[in-house]
């Protein structure tokens, strides 16, 4: 761990910046909090949670967890796949699915184009299959950089197809959620994805398939109120924001100060809505052990 | 009340006054009265013909708008309300129970707004807590066991967004209902009677058929909320209501609902009796017996119905 506060006279580090360009239900659902650094090339970073200055390379090697305070910063989908899947085993499915603008909503096409360019993803989720410490699994990974990970038709369709793939191959499925909720620009098409994805979970259940959901920061709105909460086993990353309505919305509506730690993973664990909080350095091992326990000898 | 309705009432009063005045003064104002009456008729007709999405939103939220219990009373016989989720409590914003639809026992569930301020406080303005959704699910599973069709009335601004709801798992409650309703081995018909608000509405509306009353709405979020989030300007609700495609007509056009039930001239609130008859007659036409005889087929169709929803390029 580096403590270099006094080494430099002027700060030669980057502040780990907010993601400020997002919009959508996400905004309603989100309090301001640290996000990934926008410029990854700085040598030093300053943790927004604890204020400690940390060495960028260490931060990356530590899978974007602050070595000082253990704060889990948001990971993008590709980094998550690298973290979880055995090297070279991941095969993407349905990468070609692209959103359209079903309501002809002004500005939506541009927003999609910007997100595609910024993230080099076609949508807010990457789905595929591969091996985790040798165990085969389908995985779906949401990416909050893409329009705040909101669920529109494509996210719903890719999740549904991932379930169908898992069901048909007799494979387990693991979904990493990161979403501000509904893709508002798609109106009721977006809302109905909640029912569609829940139906896909139901089919997988009937076939006896394993589904593990891993809730990461942030998981809110329509994603929380559908497949995120339907895992056979529900894991979460430490301190991840998880909730249905936004904290600010809650405060405004009921005009009361909400308890500290409200809607954090720890709060949900305490109230019985998730199985386990797993830190990032332990995540792959935990998942592989769970997969192992679901294989018939 | 809608602006136009106020105008209509004003005009009606004006005509009445003029008549009284004419009688008192023994003067002949019949020509003027005829003109005004013609205008009144025209306004009445326009009220129902030219409703904008915002008008419909207002209409769907009017306190005069008939509620679930109003319809339950008129459409069904011998309704027995059943309470509680067997886990935490009883949520007054969702009512449910057993009744007869002519000769068939059915389970009826509805989101219940208050018919005045006092009742609205008790009913939480029709915003269910998790225990409301769990009560609904309990009654649906009961219906499945006894092979009763389920009829759901949708009328909510949305699920309660408060701290208590979060603590008791609002997200989980909604998610559970969605998953269980897709697989409920008995017919389900859901009818949006007023405001279909977001996930809270969806949580009791997964069905074999989704119907909407002519002037009801179904939206991913309130147009006010939509405008304030997307445009940072909640005063643009009218524009949002238009762009969000929330009316029964829009949603039928998009293939997201199955049927529109016509409202009496002036809206459901002007004639509850007629509206209830329309609902009852439509329900009588549903081949519940046939559906119950092929429950595997029923579930396959329901799955397919939701499976195909989405707009994307491949
Ligand atoms: Zn830190």
> What are the residue ranges spanned by the domains of chain B?
3-47, 55-307
CA distances from B6 to B36, B61, B73, B115 (A): 16, 16, 29, 20
Q: Tens of pLDDT along B34-90? A: 888 888 888 776 666 789 999 999 999 999 999 999 999 999 999 999 999 999 999
CA-based nearest distance A155→chain B, Å: 10
Residues B17-40 have a mean pLDDT of 88
Burial state string for B59-75 with b = 16 or more CB within 10 A and e = fewer than 16: bbbbeebbbbbbbbebb
Residue-wise pLDDT for A70-84, tens only, equals 999 999 999 999 999
Q: What is the pLDDT of residue B7?
A: 83
In tens, the pLDDT along B100-154 reads 999 999 999 999 999 999 999 999 999 999 999 999 999 999 999 999 999 999 9
Residue-wise DSSP of B49-71: HS--HHHHHHHHH-TTS--HHHH
The CA A60 to ligand 1 mean position distance, Å, reads 13
**Chain B residues with CB-CB distance to A227 below 8 A:** 175
Query: Which residues sit opposite A235 in a β-bridge?
Result: A214, A276
Q: Which residues of chain B lie closer than 8 angstroms to A156, CB-CB? A: 309-310
Report the half-sphere exposure of B92 (CA within 13 A, side-chain side): 10
**pLDDT score, position A39:** 42
How far, CA to CA in Å, does B12 sit from each of B62, B124, B218?
21, 35, 33
Give pLDDT tens digits for A190-239. 999 999 999 999 999 999 999 999 999 999 999 999 999 999 999 999 99
Distance (Å, whole) CA A241 – CA A147: 17
Query: Nearest-CA distance from A189 to chain B in Å?
Result: 6
* Element (DSSP H or E) covering residue B252: helix B248-253
Give SS3 for B137. helix
Percent of chain A exceeding pLDDT 90 equals 71
Distance in Å, CA A70 to ligand 1 centroid: 6
To the nearest whole Å, the CA of B81 is away from the closest chain A CA by 27
- Which domains does chain A possess? 40-71 (no CATH), 74-293 (3.90.226.10)
At A219 the pLDDT is 96
A76-103 as b/e: b if 16+ CB within 10 A: bbebbbebbbeeeebeebbeebebbbbb
| pLDDT of res. B2 | 66
Asked if B220 and A190 come within 8 Å (Cβ–Cβ), the reply is: yes
Residue A35's pLDDT is what?
53
pLDDT of residue A29: 41
Interface test with B, best of A188, A247, A265, A272 (most B CBs within 10 A): A188
CA of A9 from ligand 1 middle (Å) equals 21
B179 contacts A201? CB cut-off 8 A? yes
pTM of whole model > 0.80? yes
| For residue A36, pLDDT beyond 90 | no
Mutate to test the interface with B, among A99, A148, A195, A220 (most CBs of B within 10 A): A195
Q: Is the pLDDT of residue A19 over 60?
A: no
Give the C-alpha separation, A288 to A248, whole Å: 37
Residues of B in contact with A244 (CB under 8 A): 159, 161, 165-166, 170-171, 174, 199
User: Which of B171, B306, B312 minimises the CB distance to A99?
Assistant: B312
pLDDT digits (tens, 9 = 90+) for B217-262: 999 999 999 998 889 888 899 999 999 999 999 999 999 999 999 9
Gap from CA of A52 to ligand 1 centroid (Å): 6
The residue-averaged pLDDT of A101-105 equals: 95
CA distance A174 to A177: 10
pLDDT of residue A252: 52
Q: Read off the pLDDT of each residue in B176-201 and give the average, rounded to a whole number.
A: 97
pLDDT at A4 over 70: no
* Residue closest to A43 by CA, chosen among A33, A57, A63: A57
**Is the predicted pLDDT of residue A26 greater than 80, yes or no?**
no
| pLDDT band at B29; cut points 50, 70, 90 | confident
Contact B199 A244 (CB under 8 A): yes
User: In the predicted model, is pLDDT for residue A25 greater than 50?
Assistant: no
Interface test with A, best of B182, B312, B314 (most A CBs within 10 A): B312
User: Which chain B residues have a beta carbon less than 8 Å from that of A196?
Assistant: 306-307, 309-310
Domain B55-307 listed as CATH 3.90.226.10: yes
């Amino acid at each position: 761990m580096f403590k270099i506060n006094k080494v430099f006279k002027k700060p030669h580090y980057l502040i780990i910046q907010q993601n400020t360009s997002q919009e959508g239900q996400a905004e309603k659902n989100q309090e301001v909090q640290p996000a990934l650094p926008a410029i990854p090339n700085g040598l030093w970073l300053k943790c927004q949670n604890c204020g400690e200055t940390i060495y960028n390379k260490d931060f990356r090697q530590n899978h974007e967890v602050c070595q000082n305070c253990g704060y889990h910063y948001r990971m993008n989908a590709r980094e998550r796949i690298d973290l979880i899947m055995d090297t070279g085993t991941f095969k993407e499915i349905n990468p070609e699915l692209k959103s359209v603008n079903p309501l002809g909503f002004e500005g939506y096409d541009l927003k999609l184009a910007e997100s595609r360019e910024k993230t080099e993803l076609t949508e807010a989720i990457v789905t595929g299959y591969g091996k985790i410490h040798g165990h085969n699994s389908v995985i779906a990974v949401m990416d909050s950089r893409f329009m705040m990970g909101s669920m529109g038709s494509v996210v719903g369709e890719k999740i549904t197809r991932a379930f169908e793939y898992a069901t048909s191959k007799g494979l387990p499925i693991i979904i990493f959620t990161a979403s501000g909720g509904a893709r508002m620009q798609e109106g009721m098409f977006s809302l109905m994805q909640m029912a569609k994805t829940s139906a896909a979970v139901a089919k997988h259940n009937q076939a006896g398939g394993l589904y593990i959901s891993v809730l990461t920061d942030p998981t809110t709105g329509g994603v929380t109120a559908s497949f995120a909460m339907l895992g056979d086993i529900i894991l979460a990353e430490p301190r991840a924001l998880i909730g249905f309505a936004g904290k600010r919305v809650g405060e405004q509506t009921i005009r009361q100060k909400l308890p500290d730690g409200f809607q954090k993973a720890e709060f949900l664990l305490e109230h019985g809505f998730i199985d386990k909080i797993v830190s990032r350095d332990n995540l792959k091992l935990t998942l592989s052990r769970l997969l192992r326990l679901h294989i018939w000898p | 009340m809608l602006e136009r309705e106020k105008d209509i009432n004003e005009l009606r009063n004006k005509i009445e006054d003029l008549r009284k005045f004419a009688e008192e003064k023994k003067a002949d104002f019949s020509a003027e009265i005829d003109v005004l009456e013609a205008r009144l008729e025209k306004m009445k007709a326009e009220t129902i013909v030219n409703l904008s999405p915002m008008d419909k939103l207002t209409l769907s939220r009017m306190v005069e708008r008939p509620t679930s219990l109003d319809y339950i009373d008129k459409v069904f016989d011998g309704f027995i309300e059943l309470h509680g989720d067997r886990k935490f409590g009883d949520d007054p914003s969702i009512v449910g129970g057993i009744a007869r639809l002519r000769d068939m026992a059915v389970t009826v569930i509805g989101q219940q707004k208050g018919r005045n301020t006092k009742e609205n406080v008790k009913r939480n303005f029709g915003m269910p807590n998790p225990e409301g959704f769990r009560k609904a699910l309990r009654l649906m599973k009961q219906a499945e066991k006894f092979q009763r069709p389920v009829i759901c009335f949708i009328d909510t601004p949305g699920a309660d967004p408060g701290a208590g709801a979060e603590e008791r798992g609002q997200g989980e409650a909604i998610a559970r209902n969605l998953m269980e309703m897709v697989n409920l081995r008995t017919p389900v018909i859901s009818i949006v009677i007023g405001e279909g608000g977001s996930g809270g509405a969806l949580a009791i509306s997964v069905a074999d058929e989704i119907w909407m009353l002519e002037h009801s709405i179904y939206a991913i979020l309130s147009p006010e909320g939509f405008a304030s989030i997307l445009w940072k300007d909640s005063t643009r609700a009218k524009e949002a209501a238009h762009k969000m495609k929330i009316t029964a007509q829009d949603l039928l056009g998009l293939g997201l609902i199955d049927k529109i039930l016509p409202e009496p001239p002036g809206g459901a609130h002007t004639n509850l009796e007629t509206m209830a008859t329309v609902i009852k007659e439509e329900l009588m036409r549903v081949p519940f017996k046939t559906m119950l005889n092929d429950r595997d087929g029923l579930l396959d169709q329901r799955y397919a119905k939701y499976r195909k929803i989405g707009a994307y390029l491949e």
